[in-house]
Amino acid sequence: MALDIKIVKKPDYVYVVELKGSIDTATHQQLEDELREIIEEKTKTVILDMAGVNYISSIGIKVILVTKKTLEKMHATFSMVNLQPQIKKVLDAMRILPMIDIFDDIPEADKYIDQIIKETIERQTT
């Protein structure tokens, strides 16, 4: 199955990556390339909206973990929203869930990110 990727750039270098389809051997490189394009020096947050993802393989999980690690090195945040039950079960079985911020939806993730940005700005001005 194909993977449709839509990237929404929000203020303050926050990117929401909306995914639809499978993240597997046939599609992982496409996702990796798209993520590489948006991750830059100024990137503050990347949110993967997994509402349309119906399957993820181990190579897809690797892309997610590498992205998270890259963003951590840059002091940026990474989270996932709208996990389908089967995807959540796979990530939970592989003990991935405790390592990644998971939110039920975009508004919940936005609230969390707004707080992080506010705290960062406060630290820089004091």
pTM of the model: 0.82
> Do 32 and 64 contact (CB within 8 A), yes or no?
no
Cα–Cα distance for residue pair 56/15, rounded to 1 Å: 21
Predicted pLDDT of residue 121: 66
> 3-125: which CATH number, 3.40.190.10, 2.40.30.10, 3.30.750.24, 3.40.605.10?
3.30.750.24
Question: What pLDDT, in 10s, does the model give residues 59-82?
Answer: 999 999 999 999 999 999 999 999
DSSP run (H or E) holding 89: helix 85-93
Query: How are strands ordered across the β-sheet holding 77-81?
Result: 3-10, 14-23, 45-56, 77-81, 101-103
CA 61/CA 24 separation, integer angstroms: 9
Domain spans in the chain, listed from the N-terminal domain onward: 3-125
